[in-house]
Amino acid sequence: KEPQLSQKGTGLVIKKVSPPGGICGIKSRRGDVLEINYEARVASPGGPIYDSSEQRGTGQPYQFVLGNGDVIKGVDLGLFDMCPGEVRELDIPSALGYGRKGSILFDIPGDVRLWWKVELVRLNFVGEGNNAKTREELYDGGSGENSLDFVEIDK
Residue-level pLDDT, tens digit, the chain, 155 residues: 555 555 556 789 989 888 777 778 788 999 999 999 999 999 999 999 999 999 888 889 999 999 999 999 999 999 999 999 999 999 999 999 999 999 999 999 999 999 999 999 998 865 544 444 444 444 444 444 444 444 444 44
SS3 call for 22:
coil
Q: Are 95 and 72 in contact (CB under 8 A)?
A: no
What is the DSSP code (8-state) at residue 7?
A: E
Ordered alpha helix ranges (H), the chain = 73-78, 135-140
In the chain, the N- to C-terminal Cα span, in Å, equals 12
For the chain, the domains span 4-18+28-124
Tell me if the pTM is above 0.85. no
Residue 141: burial class (beta carbons within 10 Å; 0-12, 13-18, 19+): exposed
Question: How far does Cα 69 stand from its chain's mean position?
Answer: 11
Q: Are 26 and 112 in contact (CB under 8 A)?
A: no
Instruction: Assign domain 4-18+28-124 to its CATH architecture.
Output: Roll (3.10)
